[in-house]
């Protein structure tokens, strides 16, 4: 019996029957033999964490653009916080922690420079729009490893694709592990963006909606404790009653929804950050236009995408993969005059 098989046996003995067992994975888009040491989802986790797109997350904005403070979240620290929350929930319920970790580490690989500002620009540029969850799937399927992709398990790709969205109408991942990631993403960003906004002097604790805070808690840690505890309790109850679904209780779900709506109105789309958002959009529009008119200046990988899928798609893939820093460097290189000494 290989080490992988021993781990798979442990999963059978310790996880609930509704968990996505590694041995039951439906496989990968391109066949490859099983690893002797790691389960399928452990392999996926390692592939994500060692890929270039994952490393670029450290230089991609979460909310605050090009901050000088060391303690503001980046897209990378956001990813790690989501992973920690999701793994805690998975372990408490008895679900596959390795699958949850693989999904969380890969869920935001498709995020563009300058946070959601960049996503809005690319959504207007591409004829069929742009969504970062779909771009994350493109990254792991087609763009990483010079176009060969990471060849992740189907369950990981499914979880990445369906991690986004908050409405009742939005689609759910096919596994409970993937559904955990969707909630953990919201739990993480709503709360750490409040923390960063207070640090930036744009919010005070007393500004937060009182009804939501009375239910979830006044401190960052208390709110996460409440949300994690509630999702574990509610989901365990769902499963015991034959409802195979991850969810929050109605009261706590509504409190989180209202808190998220408050953040969108006052911070994400609020007047506080409008000037910086407009600057970021201007830079992205100029860089996009430059490569749209000069696609031959893009790296070979993206020129190949242009040949296969069209000019807009190739330019969007190149722009989406950039970090904030790299996009700014390119903007300065292309558009800012250089001093010349004669």
What's the pLDDT tens digit per position in 249-307?
A: 999 999 999 999 999 999 888 887 788 889 999 999 999 999 999 999 999 999 999 99
> 295-330: string of b/e by CB count within 10 Å (b at 16+)?
beebeebbeebbeeeeebbbbbbbbbbbbbeebbeb
Which pLDDT value is given to residue 255? 98
This prediction has a pTM of 0.95
Distance between CA atoms of 58 and 326, rounded to whole angstroms? 12
Average pLDDT over residues 69-84: 91
Q: Which residue has the tokens 């250089």?
A: 338
Distance between CA atoms of 55 and 117, rounded to whole angstroms? 21
Among 15-29, 76-90, 105-119, 141-155, which is the least confidently predicted range? 105-119
Distance between CA atoms of 323 and 113, rounded to whole angstroms? 5
Query: Quick one: pLDDT band at residue 5, thresholds 50, 70, 90?
Result: very high
Distance between CA atoms of 210 and 212, rounded to whole angstroms? 5
Residue 157 has pLDDT above 90, yes or no: yes
**DSSP β-bridge partners for residue 61:** 74
Residue 168 has pLDDT above 80, yes or no: no
Listed as own residue / partner, the contacts of 9-15 with beta carbons closer than 8 Å and 24 or more positions apart are 11/39, 11/96, 14/94, 15/94, 15/95, 15/96
Which pLDDT value is given to residue 65? 57
Distance between CA atoms of 231 and 303, rounded to whole angstroms? 45
Cα angle 274, 83, 319; round to 5: 45
Ramachandran region, residue 267 (left: φ > 0; alpha: ψ -120 to 50; beta: rest): alpha
Joined together, the tokens standing for residue 176 give 């409970």
Are 190 and 173 in contact by the 8 Å Cβ rule? The answer is no
Residue 66 has pLDDT above 60, yes or no: no
Query: Quick one: pLDDT band at residue 61, thresholds 50, 70, 90?
Result: confident
Average pLDDT over residues 195-203: 90
Are 102 and 45 in contact by the 8 Å Cβ rule? The answer is yes
Distance between CA atoms of 72 and 187, rounded to whole angstroms? 17
With CA atoms as reference, report the closest residue to 333 among 275, 286, 279, 280.
Answer: 286
């Amino acid at each position: 019996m290989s080490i992988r098989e021993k781990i798979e046996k442990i999963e059978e003995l310790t996880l609930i029957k509704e968990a996505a067992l590694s041995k039951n994975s439906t496989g990968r888009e391109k066949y490859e033999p099983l690893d002797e040491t790691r389960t399928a989802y452990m392999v996926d986790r390692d592939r994500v964490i060692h890929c270039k797109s994952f490393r670029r997350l450290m230089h991609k904005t979460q909310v605050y653009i090009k901050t000088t403070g060391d303690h503001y979240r980046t897209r990378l620290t956001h990813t790690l916080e989501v992973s920690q929350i999701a793994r805690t929930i998975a372990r408490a319920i008895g679900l596959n922690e390795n699958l949850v970790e693989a999904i969380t580490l890969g869920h935001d690989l498709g995020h563009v420079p300058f946070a959601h500002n960049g996503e809005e620009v690319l959504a207007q540029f591409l004829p069929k729009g742009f969504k970062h969850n779909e771009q994350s799937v493109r990254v792991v399927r087609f763009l990483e490893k010079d176009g060969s992709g990471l060849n992740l398990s189907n369950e990981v790709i499914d979880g990445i694709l369906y991690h986004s969205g908050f409405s009742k109408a939005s689609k759910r991942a096919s596994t409970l592990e993937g559904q955990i990631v969707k909630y953990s993403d919201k739990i993480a960003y709503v709360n750490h963006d409040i923390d960063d906004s207070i640090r930036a002097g744009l919010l005070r604790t007393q500004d937060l909606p009182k009804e939501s805070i009375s239910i979830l808690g006044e401190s960052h840690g208390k709110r996460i404790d409440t949300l994690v505890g509630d999702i574990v309790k509610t989901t365990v109850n769902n499963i015991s009653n034959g409802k195979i679904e991850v969810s929050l209780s109605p009261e706590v779900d509504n409190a989180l929804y209202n808190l998220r709506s408050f953040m969108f109105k006052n911070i994400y789309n609020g007047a506080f950050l409008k000037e910086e958002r407009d600057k970021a959009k201007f830079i992205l529009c100029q860089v996009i236009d430059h490569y749209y008119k000069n696609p031959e200046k893009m790296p070979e990988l993206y020129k190949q995408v242009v040949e296969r899928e069209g000019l807009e798609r190739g330019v969007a893939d190149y722009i989406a993969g950039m970090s904030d820093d790299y996009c700014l460097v390119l903007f300065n290189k292309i558009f800012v005059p250089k001093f010349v000494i004669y």
